[in-house]
Amino acid sequence: MEKKWWHDKVAYQIYPKSFMDSNGDGIGDLQGVISKLDYLKELGVDIVWLSPIYQSPLADEGYDISDYYAIDQRFGSMQDMEELIAEAKKRGITILMDLVVNHCSDEHEWFKKACEDPDGKYGKFFYLRDKDPEGKLPTNWRSYFGGPCWEQLPGTGKLYLHVFHKKQPDLNWENPEVRKEVYKNIRWWMEKGIGGFRIDAIINIKKPEVFRDYPADRDDGLCSIINMLKDARGIGEFLGEMRDKAFKPYDAFTAGEVFNEKEGELPLFIGENGYFSTMFDFSVEMYEREGRGWFDKRPVDIDAFRDCMFSAHKKIGDIGFYSTIIENHDEPRGASRLLNDEIRNESAKKALATVYFLRRGLPFIYQGQEIGMENKKIRSVEELDDISSIDAYKVAIDAGLTEEEALKTLSSHSRDNARTPMQWSDEMHAGFTTGEPWLRENPNYAAINVKEQQGREDSVLSHYKKLIALRKDPAYKETIVYGDFVPCENCGGSLIAYLRKGVDQTILVAGNFTPDEKTVELPLTADGRRYAGGKVLLDNGREASVEDGSVRLDGFGAAAILLEELKKS
């Protein structure tokens, strides 16, 4: 595999609205981010992905952009943005913007002009259809956030398509003018000195040639939008063009948010000369995908997590580099989702960090993950901010769940879980703001916060620092970044173990997610011998050792161990 500058880096996702508020209005902002750059530097972060900070009505918290060339004043100014890029650079940190171009906001100038003149230039920027006199919609597709994908184009006799919220009209990528605008914007931001983009919801830009109905899958008579994605062919033409015209000239780093790519498409997306540098490994999300709604998601435990991880590596092999995650702004907290109530302790959180972080791929840490932040209990529907969660609540009630049951579902799945204020200290509002936070903080901030963990050698935060340092250690870096991923298939329940095989060294990574001591048999060496022992490079404070071909782990133990081969007799 051709080596790239970003392969050995560590990335961190910031959700600006919830990261740090600098002026007491309860909303995180760019000056807040700047004030925490030293914290990120000390942690060992090289790449920062900023969730959207463009001008936006914030209907979907910034994933609905009304001006791609302006910063929303709640987050700051363009001057603040320039300062952030420059200050980050001084610390060796590269900034990634979020590229949200499947749709814009209904408050974008293009959409307003389309309403004024649907048959004119800007009408062609969107997917418009004439309204049927009988009121039948063009298709029965359900938007990701609930309800039909079609909405009346204000002031006209037409409908427009929105695969997400109605305030997020889909841009018509078939129109070369739209693509030209997108590429122009990408180049404009690259000129500002950013390192590249995380690319939002990109699989949705290609629609099928023929718009048709699919069998309804819920009582609302609608069908999942995924059906139309399956019929869409030829996304590669758009993505290849974007790569060549916008990314390549700047050698931009790009991380695609790709769900539902088709069988065999992985090499096209992130192989040599792929459309993107990398894409996220969403195998856990794909595993749990809802049937009838969020309440119907398949629970993920440690064994499911391990199986997803192993199959993802099998699938990607040497094709490219995944970006690895345990959470992001759309998911519940990794520690809450993957560790059940009985095992959610600091050792297990550090074990989880270990097994995900030392995989092959580019690790992304989501803000607060590094201190083991957890889901927040949702007490009432009024507390919900996220549009997707509000819909999921309704879907659960319509399906016959009680209010209590529906809220329980939301407490485990709501996107708000990831969006509560970052927990900096045990001061009021977790040290996030001196005002009233836009979203209630998790009441556990007195126990879980950066300040407390910074001073403690055995904290989750200290463990992340050690993981990052190990990944960058010249003695092991080559193996951790490029070594093969060899799963220990016979791990057993609630255990995860794999080898990273480099040119001349093998590192075992293992985690025990039970309170009891466990032993896992290791695969044999290439020439059929057992591993004799090993040097612990990192552990989570619990004991781990290798002897006679197996690894022994304390309850909740996790470690990275440099394996020693038995000398040939």
Angle subtended at Cα 87 by Cα 85 and Cα 88, rounded to the nearest 5 degrees = 65
With CB under 6 A as the contact rule, the residue among 336, 388, 459, 514 that binds ligand TEU is 388
User: Roughly what angle, to the nearest 10 degrees, separates helices 403-413 and 387-398?
Assistant: 140
Instruction: Tell me which of ligand TEU, Ca ion, none is bound by residue 253, counting a contact when its beta carbon lies within the kind-specific cut-off of 5 to 8 angstroms.
Output: none
Site membership for ligand TEU, residue 150 (CB under 6 A): no
Provide the minimum distance between the beta carbon of 331 and ligand TEU in the complex, in angstroms, as a whole number: 8
Q: Nearest residue by C-beta to ligand TEU?
A: 63
Q: Is 153 left (phi over 0), alpha (psi -120 to 50) or beta?
A: beta
Give the dihedral sign, CA 511/512/517/520.
negative
Helix, strand or coil, per DSSP, at residue 148: strand
In degrees, rounded to 5, the angle at the alpha carbon of residue 313 between the alpha carbons of residues 311 and 319 is 130
Token duo for residue 510: 């293992």
Nearer to ligand TEU (CB atom), residue 122 or residue 164: 164
Active site residue 25: no
The footprint of Ca ion (CB under 5 A) covers: 21, 23, 25, 27, 29
Catalytic residue among 21, 29, 64, 257: 257
Closest contact distance (angstroms) between CB of 414 and ligand TEU is 9
Residue 201 found at the interface with ligand TEU (CB under 6 A): yes
Identify which of residues 282 and 305 has a Cβ nearer to ligand TEU in the complex: 282
Q: Which of residues 330-349 bind ligand TEU (CB under 6 A)?
A: 330
Q: How far is CA 532 from CA 497, 519, 523, 549, 564, in A?
A: 17, 15, 12, 6, 6
Nearer to ligand TEU, 57 or 549 (CB): 57
Strands 128-130 and 158-161 come out as antiparallel
Query: Binding to ligand TEU by residue 144, rule CB under 6 A?
Result: yes
Binding flag, residue 164, ligand TEU (CB under 6 A): yes
Q: Shortest Cβ distance from residue 321 to ligand TEU (Å)? A: 20
x/- binding map, residues 18-57, to ligand TEU, per CB under 6 A?
----------------------------------------
Please identify which of the residues 200, 281, 386, 554 carries the catalytic annotation.
200
Which of Ca ion, ligand TEU, none binds 60 (CB below 5-8 Å, type-dependent)? ligand TEU
- With CB under 5 to 8 Å by kind, the binding choice for 179 among Ca ion, ligand TEU, none is none
CB of 446 to Ca ion, least distance (A): 23
CA proximity to 150, closest of 133, 172, 134, 128: 128
Beta strands in 139-258 (DSSP E): 141-142, 150-152, 158-161, 196-199, 223-224, 253-256
Nearest residue to 557 (alpha-carbon basis) of 345, 340, 372, 359 = 345
Least distance in Å: CB of 233 to Ca ion?
Answer: 45
Residues 100, 270, 325, 448: which binds ligand TEU (CB under 6 A)?
100
Distance CA 469, CA 461 (A): 12
Q: Least Å distance between CB 330 and ligand TEU?
A: 4
Note whether 296 binds ligand TEU by CB under 6 A.
no
Q: Is 259 in the site for ligand TEU (CB under 6 A)?
A: yes
Q: What's the min distance (Å) between Cβ of 143 and ligand TEU?
A: 10
Per-residue tokens: 68: 């791609």
Give the integer Cα–Cα distance in Å for 523 and 509.
13
SS3 content of the chain, % helix, strand, coil (to 5): 35, 20, 45
Triad 466, 300, 285: Cα angle to 5°: 85
287 near ligand TEU (CB under 6 A): no
Could you give the count of Cα atoms lying within 13 Å of 131 in the half-sphere of its Cβ? 13
In terms of CB distance, is 125 or 280 closer to ligand TEU?
A: 280
23 touches, from ligand TEU, Ca ion, none (C-beta below 5 to 8 Å by class): Ca ion
Q: Which is nearer to ligand TEU, 415 or 471 (CB)?
A: 415
Crossing angle for the helix pair 235-242 and 176-191, to the nearest 10 degrees: 30
Which helix (H) or strand (E) segment is 408 a member of? Answer: helix 403-413
Residue 21 binds: one of Ca ion, ligand TEU, none (C-beta under 5 to 8 A by kind):
Ca ion
CA nearest to 112, candidates 120, 92, 378, 9 = 120
How many chain residues bind ligand TEU (CB under 6 A)?
13
| CA–CA gap between residue 365 and residue 352 (Å, rounded) | 12
Using CB under 6 A, which of 29, 170, 200, 441 touches ligand TEU?
200
* Known catalytic residue at 257: yes
Which of Ca ion, ligand TEU, none sits in contact with 259, Cβ below 5 to 8 A by type? ligand TEU
Of the residues 158, 166, 415, 471, which one makes contact with ligand TEU according to CB under 6 A:
415
Nearer to ligand TEU, 411 or 545 (CB): 411
Strand pairing class (550-553; 518-521): antiparallel
CB of 457 to ligand TEU, least distance (A): 35
Write down the least CB distance from residue 20 to Ca ion, Å. 9
Which CB atom, from 29 or from 64, has the smaller least distance to ligand TEU? 64
- The residue number with the shortest CB distance to Ca ion is 29
Structure tokens of 452?
């407390």
Using CB under 6 A, list all residues that contact ligand TEU. 60, 63, 100, 144, 164, 200-201, 257, 259, 329-330, 388, 415
Catalytic residues: 200, 257
